Structure 1
Amino acid sequence: MRNVALAVHGLYAASFLFGVTSLIGVVVAYMKRGEAAGTIYHSHLTYAIRTFWIGLALSVAGFVLSFLGIGFLIWAFALVWFVIRLVRAFLAWNDRRPVERPERFF
């Protein structure tokens, strides 16, 4: 499960270059979350799933509001938010500990 969590986080990081990899990452996270139940990596996969859906919602909101001129601010916020979540996930993975409160926004 440790390698699966790393792969999911890595796919999310790769989405900065190849946008579709985050979609692959969320599919893997959903497929493996059941197997990770009872381990510290369950929180990593839950965190990754929430990161995907919240990030998608922020991106869509940014797109819709870009026509009003404020969408770019939302996209900038979403980018910083995504990086913070990735760093938190990688640090927790590196320390071999669960992601604390994976349901939270930050």
Structure 2
Amino acid sequence: MAEPEIQTPHGTGNSNDKMMPLVVYILYLTGFVVGITPVIGVIMAYINRGTAPAWLQTHYSLQIRTFWIGLLLSIVGAITALIFIGWLVLLATAIWFIARCVKGLMHLQRGEAYPDPATWLL
């Protein structure tokens, strides 16, 4: 079943509208240095998702899913870190997390909706 395509303003979006998702992406990426910032970012994404235009809601949905999936994979990696595979899971999770944020930033910068925020991949 095909989902309806979300119309994107292609650069006509208010820069103030883009500011909050941008802040959330930055908070997520700074989480590798300051551990609490992704928690602040996901709270901001939950707060702003309902009032945002449809194309920005895709970014907020991506950010929320990225946080929870990343947390789940990090817990699995931490539990299995006693054996070598856990370190690989943590490394793969970090790369996946960064890649999703960078891809989201690229779409946000162009004023586009995120293509498939419900995916577990990129």
TM-score (normalizing by structure 2): 0.83
Distance 2:63 2:20 in 1: 11
1:25 has 2:26 as partner? no
The share of aligned pairs that are identical, in percent, is: 33
Q: CA deviation at 1:39?
A: 2.5
**Highest Rg: 1 or 2?**
2
Amino acid at match of 1:98: A
1:12 has 2:32 as partner? no
Amino acid at match of 2:90: W
The number of aligned residues is 105
Distance 1:10 1:68 in 2: 32
Alignment match, 2:102:
87
Q: Which runs of 5+ in 1 are unaligned?
A: none
Amino acid at match of 1:41: L
How do residues 60-71 of structure 1 correspond to structure 2 at under 5 angstroms? 60-71=75-86
Large movers: runs of 4+ above 2 Å: none
Distance 1:25 1:42 in 2: 14
Specify which structure has the higher proportion of helix.
1
Q: Which runs of 5+ in 2 are unaligned?
A: 1-16
Q: Deviation per CA, 1:43-84: give whole Å up to 9, x if none.
A: 000000000000000100001111222100000100110111
The RMSD of aligned alpha carbons is 0.9
